[in-house]
Structure 1
Amino acid sequence: MNSPEYITVSLLNQYLNRKFEYDPYLHHVFLSGEISNFRERPNSHQYFSLKDEHSKIKVVMFKSAYQKLKFRPEEGMKVLVRGKVTLYQPSGEYQINIDKMEPDGVGSLYQAYEQLKGKLAAEGLFDLPTRALPHFPQRIAVITSRSGAVIRDIITTANRRYPQAEIVLYPAVVQGDQAKYSLVDALKRVQRDVANYDVLIIGRGGGSIEDLWPFNEEVVVRQIAEMKLPVISSVGHETDTTLSDLVADYRAATPTAAAELATPKLVDELVSLKKQQQLLFSRINVVLRLKREGLERVNSNIVLTQPNRLFDQRTQQVDLLQQRLLKAITKRNSDLAHRTVLLKERLNKRLLQQNIANLTNQNTFLLQSLFAKMKAVLNNKKNGLGLAANKLDAISPLKIIGRGYVLANKGDRTIISVTQVKQNDLLELNFKDGIVTAEAIKIEERRNE
């Protein structure tokens, strides 16, 4: 018995490829089907699939043929194509290489999508108020596959931007017939723990419309609408839009973008705080400058710089009062003396001595009363003047100078800080017993620790 002859895989694929090439029925094949797994590649060949209810075939359309199309193919679109069936030897997979394609209506999944979208829109499910995202979230719930790249991208981005946020994964099946039940269950678990979270991210990576269909299921969409916290949807790629994206508060094109929406950038927040700190310091400096200018105006007041002028004015008032008092006393004495003379002339000789004595006593009493009143008036004036002098003396820089301090002036300004003095400036130093003119040789600013 002869032993079988074994051949290599390459030889088998070469043989099958020749069969495909020489079969005239496979050179011009006309197909109708629904586009699937389509992602447009600019300026390149296009690779996608055609399918019906039971089967799927891979499609390649070279750049030259694709550029002749008058429409843009889309996921779920039903089309009519013409092409040649070939075998790709490296993988052993057969495909149809098409050179012509035209629309033939929309696929069943796309029609179901549009119908459910219209139904939910009529209910106002896509017009619910948008809930604001917390600026500094503490805990973020994530619903996605445990093993996919989505959760890794979200954790990496959140740790880079805002490491204080805690990411908690609620794993779910995101593809297949059981995915909608798994997603609803995960959403309900988050809802039960809603008090522990600030925001929810739900999503998955890219795929065909069939792969993303669980996020178009009515039960999933309605459960997202019932959530009690802000929801960010990140399903598929930027060109994919699911009903979950429409009902969520926010939509992100990628998992990274979703994490960026949910978290602040710590560096930017620190820069913002630094700017606010600088603004606060600037306003404080303005207030201090205004207060300092007010203090300088007070210090330059004549009451403080030349208190003797106030004493001079009061002294002149006292002198004037003394002069008036002396004139009044003199006039009073003169009037009394004149009356005494008149009375003496009128008195009889026998009563002259007695009248003179009486008048003398009266005059003495009046003089005593007058001097007592004059003394009381002078004492009151002196007491008032003493109180005023004490008040001025308490705030007078001369008193401070008398204890060994010096009042420094530059021109008509009082120096209160070394920042007002430049090297070689001439300063006027006021001592208690004189004035010294000095030159600033060295300036050393003492910093407060």
Structure 2
Amino acid sequence: MLFPQQEEFKFESIQELIEYLNSIFSSSPLYRQEIEVIGDVTHAKYSKRGDLYVELSQRVRSSNYSITIIFSQSAVPYVFKHCRIDSEKELLNKRWKFQGIVNFWKREAKYVVSGSSIIPLGASEIEKKKKEILKKLEKSNLLRKVEHELVELDPIKKIAVITSPTAAGFGDFQKNINHSRFIPIVHLYPAPMQGAETVPGIKKALFAILKSGIDYNVVVIIRGGGSKSDLMYFDDFELGSLIAKFSRKIPVLTGIGHEQDSTIPDFVSWKNYSTPTEVSRDIVNQINYFTDTLENLEKNITYSFTNIYSQMENLLSFNTINNIKYYLGRELINLFRTLDEDQLSINRKINQMIESSEKSISLNKLVSIQRFIEYSIKTYNQDIISTTNEIISELKSKFEISERILFSTFQELTKSSPFAAFLNNGVLVKKGEEIIDSVEKLQRKDEVKLIFKDGEADSSIEKIQKW
């Protein structure tokens, strides 16, 4: 039955229901009559055919109403010329009066208006309301004053996400997060992202996050898809005030709007993004940045330790010290040998002089010369021995000072290193991949690895005693 009696209202198919609705519209006084309607334009775009689709919206208390007005490709130039605009973007966020004929699209069971003209009426009521809220938030010192970057925060490990579980944006967010080198924990706190329950739902989710006691690094509020007119529900002073204050405890990131739209939460959050995908990509970049930084730091520490250890080992090696002592000893031996040879040479010359002049020199004079020469030789030998002792003493003192300086430098370079014990002929303790430099990091029954200079051993902690 195509038109069932009123008391039945039973339809065999969707087509019958839609045909019935269309018959009611066709028989109404509105059918094929031109109408006028006033509202704020929240969206405007062209179809593949070149027709212009305009979304007209109006917020009444806690409800949002919208309808689509279509201008044919041929009508667009005339309408733009009449309104004195050059682009569909100039329609956005302003108040207009539209004229046209209401049509019922049976395929989508939807009412649309075939537009014929647009009359400008001034500023958008939606924008006026948003500006009033922003002014109130500014007066309360709740607007974001600094543009933050995620690298200012600690590495992100735990994320609380506020969104609708079925939102396309949540799927995109999770997909991108899984590309990070260290995948963080993500907890979903469901909340409506459109309609009158948007603000109460988000507020409830924020309080649930606080009540959980979990130390989240960031809270993310995202919304993907849906009508742009639904963004009006986010323009709420209480919601903006709560997000601003919440961000002082846990940074709130927002990805609510689209490329050219901003809502009240975008102005008060710790950082805002255009889409959920942008939020997740920035989080991934932050995690990867810290991961790369830690890996590079580990490589630099390992290289520096190896280099310092190698230099200290060369400076303080037993063979090096023995070599220094050997060279010093050899030089002293050569010095004594030279002194002995000089003394013998002098003695020979003196004896030759005595023998050649013995006949012409009186015995008393000879004895006097001999005593003088013996005294001079004795004095010369004493001077040589004294000088030699001074040289030896000075060399020994300099060597001991150098040895102390080397040892002190080595201790100073390694005293704050987790490898200090290892470098001082001790042992290096590792639990897993972590180097243990304090008993505070150990517990009974922990399995550890002991690394010596010539090998390693596995061990278990049975007793811990703190100094």
What TM-score range do you get, normalising by the shorter chain? 0.5 to 0.7
5 Å-filtered alignment, 1:225-236, equals: 225-227=244-246, 228-236=249-257
Q: Deviations over 1:98-155 (max 9, x none)?
A: 1322322344333211211122234432244455533521111111223322332222
Shift of the 251–64 alpha-carbon distance from structure 1 to 2, 3 Å rule, reads farther
Q: Secondary structure at the match of 1:60?
A: strand
5 Å-filtered alignment, 1:15-414, equals: 29-35=34-40, 38-41=43-46, 44-50=50-56, 57-68=67-78, 69=80, 70=85, 72-75=89-92, 77-129=94-146, 133=150, 134=153, 136-192=155-211, 196-208=215-227, 210-227=229-246, 228-264=249-285, 318-328=340-350, 331=353, 338-340=361-363, 373=378
Instruction: Judge conservation of contact 2:155–2:287 (CA < 8 Å) in 1.
Output: no
Q: Secondary structure at the match of 2:118?
A: strand
Instruction: Judge conservation of contact 2:43–2:228 (CA < 8 Å) in 1.
Output: no
Q: Secondary structure at the match of 2:254?
A: strand
Rg larger in 1 or in 2?
1
Task: State the alpha-carbon separation in 1 of the partners of residues 96 and 4 from structure 2.
Answer: 46
Instruction: Judge conservation of contact 1:233–1:252 (CA < 8 Å) in 2.
Output: yes
Task: State the alpha-carbon separation in 1 of the partners of residues 271 and 33 from structure 2.
Answer: 48
Q: Secondary structure at the match of 1:125?
A: coil
Count of aligned residue pairs for this structure pair = 364
Q: Deviations over 1:228-261 (max 9, x none)?
A: 1222111132222001001112111111111122
Give 1:416's aligned residue: none
Percent identity between the two aligned chains: 20
Q: Secondary structure at the match of 1:105?
A: strand
Shift of the 40–285 alpha-carbon distance from structure 1 to 2, 3 Å rule, reads farther
CA shift, 1:374, in A, is: 9.8
Task: State the alpha-carbon separation in 1 of the partners of residues 338 and 202 from structure 2.
Answer: 100
| TM-score normalised by structure 1 residue count | 0.60
Instruction: Judge conservation of contact 2:66–2:229 (CA < 8 Å) in 1.
Output: no
Instruction: Judge conservation of contact 2:169–2:223 (CA < 8 Å) in 1.
Output: yes
Q: Which runs of 5+ in 1 are unaligned?
A: 299-303, 344-358, 392-449
Counterpart amino acid of residue 97 in structure 2: L
Task: State the alpha-carbon separation in 2 of the partners of residues 146 and 4 from structure 1.
Answer: 40
Q: Deviations over 1:418-439 (max 9, x none)?
A: xxxxxxxxxxxxxxxxxxxxxx
Instruction: Judge conservation of contact 1:203–1:234 (CA < 8 Å) in 2.
Output: yes
Counterpart amino acid of residue 187 in structure 1: L
Q: Which runs of 5+ in 2 are unaligned?
A: 6-10, 321-325, 397-467
Shift of the 162–380 alpha-carbon distance from structure 1 to 2, 3 Å rule, reads closer
Counterpart amino acid of residue 251 in structure 1: N
Give 2:406's aligned residue: none
Shift of the 267–64 alpha-carbon distance from structure 1 to 2, 3 Å rule, reads farther
Task: State the alpha-carbon separation in 2 of the partners of residues 113 and 195 from structure 1.
Answer: 33
Tell me whether 185-194 or 312-321 shows the greater mean CA deviation. 312-321
RMSD of equivalent CA atoms: 5.6
